[in-house]
């Protein structure tokens, strides 16, 4: 079985898993996501770009007062991909036991 290469990298798996904890319809700010992941801003941006290119993550840019804030959420496609990935992982491990 082929594991989704977009998610099958440590950093992107952790990003996707964190965003998947949000209920549908909610978004998380970049700084909060960074804090929960304990990653550098540069590293997080790089991986988010890959997830955005695959259309797994939706980016909303807005302003809080005069400060620009970026909010992130899994797209419907991203949420499905994450569930499929988790299922595939469990299947693989179940089969190898």
Q: Which residues bind another protein (CB under 8 A)?
A: 3, 5, 8-11, 13-14, 17-18, 21-29, 31-33, 35-39, 43, 47, 71, 73, 86, 89-90, 92-93, 96
Q: How many residues comprise the chain?
A: 97
Contact criterion met (CB below 8 Å) for 41 and 3:
no
Q: Is the CB of 3 or the CB of 68 nearer to another protein? A: 3
Could you tell me the smallest distance in angstroms from the CB atom of residue 32 to another protein? 3
Cross-strand partners of 58? 73
Report CA 49 to chain centroid distance, whole Å: 10
Largest CA distance in the chain: 55
* Contact (Cβ atoms closer than 8 angstroms) between residue 67 and residue 46: no
**Nearest distance from residue 69's CB to another protein, in Å?**
9
Closest distance to another protein from the beta carbon of 55 (Å): 19
């Amino acid at each position: 079985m082929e594991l989704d290469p977009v998610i099958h990298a440590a950093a992107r798996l952790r990003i996707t898993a964190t965003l998947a904890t949000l209920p549908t319809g909610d978004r998380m700010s970049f700084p909060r996501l960074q804090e929960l992941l304990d990653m550098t801003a540069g590293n997080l941006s790089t991986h988010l770009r890959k997830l955005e290119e695959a259309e797994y993550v939706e980016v909303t840019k807005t302003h809080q007062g005069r400060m620009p804030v970026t909010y992130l959420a899994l797209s419907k496609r991203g949420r499905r991909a994450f569930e499929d990935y988790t299922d595939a992982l469990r299947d693989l491990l179940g089969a190898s036991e």
